[in-house]
Structures are given as C-alpha cells and as structure tokens.
Amino acid sequence: MLENKHPLILGIESSCDETSAALLCGFDVLSHVVYSQLIHQHYGGVVPELASREHETAISRVVDKTFAEAGNISPHNVDAIAVTYGPGLMGALLVGLNFAKGMVVALKKPLIAINHIEAHLYAPFLDFPNLQPPMLCLLVSGGHTLLIDVKGIRDFTILGETLDDAAGESFDKVARLLNIGYPGGPLIDKLSEKGDPNAIRFPRPYLEKESLNFSFSGLKTAVLNYTKTKESFTDQEIADIAAGFQAAVVDVLEEKVRRAVLQTGHKQVILAGGVAANRLLRKRLKNLEKTLDIHLYYPSLKYCTDNAAMIAAAGVLYYEKGWTSGLDVPAVPNLRIYDHSYTG
C-alpha cells in the first residue's frame, strides 16, 4: 500500500495518434508508457480510422504495462482515473474514454475527464512541481496556437490565437511540400541545423498587427510559391528553405510572447505543446529571460508531445479541487480550452 498524502492518479490519452498511460503520485511520474502509431507515416498524416483501430488494439496492453512498470501498484490503489475527452479525433477519443469508464465502474473510483489542450498547459508542472499560476503560456501544438493568461487552475483568458493554421500544422504542411516526411516539426527542426536561416527571407505573418493573434497560412503559401520557382532543389537548398521557414515561425512566436509579457506583466512564462520541443524556439524564448526579467519554463521533450503524464497531472490538480466527472461525459472532438459545459 502506498502511504502518501498525494493522490495516485492513472492518466489515459488517446486523442490522436499516441496511445498512452501514466501513473502519477502527485506530480511524481511513477510510470509512463507511450505507444506512437507509426502506421500514419505511410500516409503523410494521421488517418482517423486507422488511429481508432490502433488505439483499440493497444490500449489494454499500454495500461497493463503502466501498472507493471510502477512496481507493485494495483489498479485498486488508484484514487481516480483521468482521461482525455477532447479535443481530438472522435473514434480515437472514444477508445480511451470508454476504456477509462470501464475501469472506473469496475474499480468504483472517480472519473476525471480532461481537456487535452488544458493538459498540455500543465505539462511543465511535471518538471517544476512547485510552479504556480499566475503565468503566461504559449501553447503551440499540431492543432492549436494560443497565448493564454493563466490566472489559476482552469481559470484562463485567451490573449491570442491562430486565425488559420496552427504552428505545428504549418511545420507539418511545409514538411509535406518539401517531401521530407511526417511529422514535419522534428524533421524541419533537424534539417534546419544544416540550413542557412537567412538564405531566403520568408514573411513574418501578422507581426505588423498590434493584436496577439497569429496567422501561418500565408507563410505556408510563401514556401509553396518558392518551391515552384525551380524544377528541383539541392539538399542544401531544401535545408535553407526549412531553416528560413522555421526562423519566420519562431520570430513571430517570440515577438508575440514579448508583447504579451509587456502587456500582462507576467513574470512566469510557460511554453507547452508539441512545438515546444523545437530547439530554436526554446533557445530564443530562453534568451528573453534576461531582457524581460522573466522565468521561462518548458517541459522535458517527452512531455511536450502527446502523452498521458500531462493528462494525469491535470487529474492531480482536478482531484485536489474535488472536480470529478459523471459517466455520461461525451467525447468532444472540437472542445475549446475554456469550455467546461460537458463536465460541470
């Protein structure tokens, strides 16, 4: 038996192409298993039907492994089960959500339905357990680009968001244009090392506007138009395009964070979501620490992209506040970060 004042939470994540489970005691990660569905690489993007099928066959194995890796913990010892209920792919969400519902019924434990985007925001807590709001968050993933004024747990104001493509989506689309594979973010990040970011000057979209919103579709079109200027490109030229594109995205993200810090006066800034793994972005935001007198926190790489440890971390915060969900909570593919109407 675990003797600990911190809750023991099982987290389950299946919103897109990662089947994942994690056991946390407070923000201590006891075990964490991520099964990434490689099948989608053949298609250049996630195929929803295949994702659901892969989750269905993987989920019980992933959860069993999570308990096995945590040592002698039995499912009966958990205090609650936290699971992603949106946003994401409907079929994929249903696999994790229904699995969690089955477990809570069998174990007679509370269910905690978690918003996946909100959980990204809490991922830095896994590395910095003493972190406390208020803070500013730049949340950049495959589906979202948000600047959030985080006043407290589940207490947010959106300061800016993308009007079209998300930052991660633009990395993936440009990687597809350059024919370098999927997912594009890590590949462009790596390829950019060999490229000259100043060889091609791509536009810095929406930088001239006062607002804290973003727009990345014009940048993607600028890359597309550039790729049409020649019959073929050398490996060096492809690397230069990748580096030029990445520099444009990072310039915009950095400048909007700078403006948001000046506007809000926040001293703690967190970077979260899959694009938070980008090395140039991490470096450039880290450089803002001195100039703006702020502290920057970003999650370790394994907690940037989709994972169940961040779902369990959100579960810990919710459990401590007594926020649990009914068994009738639905899967909500287009759930917004501030929408709590499904969980009460």
> Does 149 sit near ligand KG4 (CB under 6 A)?
no
Q: Shortest approach of Zn ion to residue 119 CB, angstroms?
A: 8
Dist. CA 217–CA 161, nearest whole Å: 13
186 is a site residue for ligand KG4 (CB under 6 A): yes
Residue 118 binding result from ligand KG4, Zn ion, none, given CB thresholds of 5 to 8 Å by partner type: none
CB of 327 to ligand KG4, least distance (A): 25
Residue 4, sorted as left (phi over 0), alpha (psi -120 to 50) or beta, turns out to be beta
**For ligand KG4, which residue of 13, 165, 240, 306 counts as binding (CB under 6 A)?**
306
The least CB distance from residue 169 to ligand KG4, in Å, is: 6
C-alpha dihedral sign at 265, 117, 249, 160? negative
189 is a site residue for ligand KG4 (CB under 6 A): yes
User: Tokens 């990662």, residue?
Assistant: 18
| 96 interacts with ligand KG4 by CB under 6 A | no
Give least dist CB 307 to Zn ion, A. Answer: 9
- Cα–Cα dist 317/153, whole Å: 8
Does 306 bind Zn ion (CB under 5 A)? Our answer is yes
Contact in structure between 124 and 270 (CB atoms under 8 Å):
yes
Binding of residue 18 to Zn ion (CB under 5 A) = no
E strand map for the chain: 8-13, 18-25, 28-36, 80-86, 111-115, 135-140, 145-152, 155-161, 268-272, 295-297
275 binds, among ligand KG4, Zn ion, none (CB under 5 to 8 A by kind): ligand KG4
| Contact window for ligand KG4 (CB under 6 A) among 157-165, 191-199, 272-280, 308-316 | 272-280
- Strand 135-140 versus strand 18-25 pairing type: unpaired
Shortest distance (Å) from residue 71 CB to ligand KG4:
28
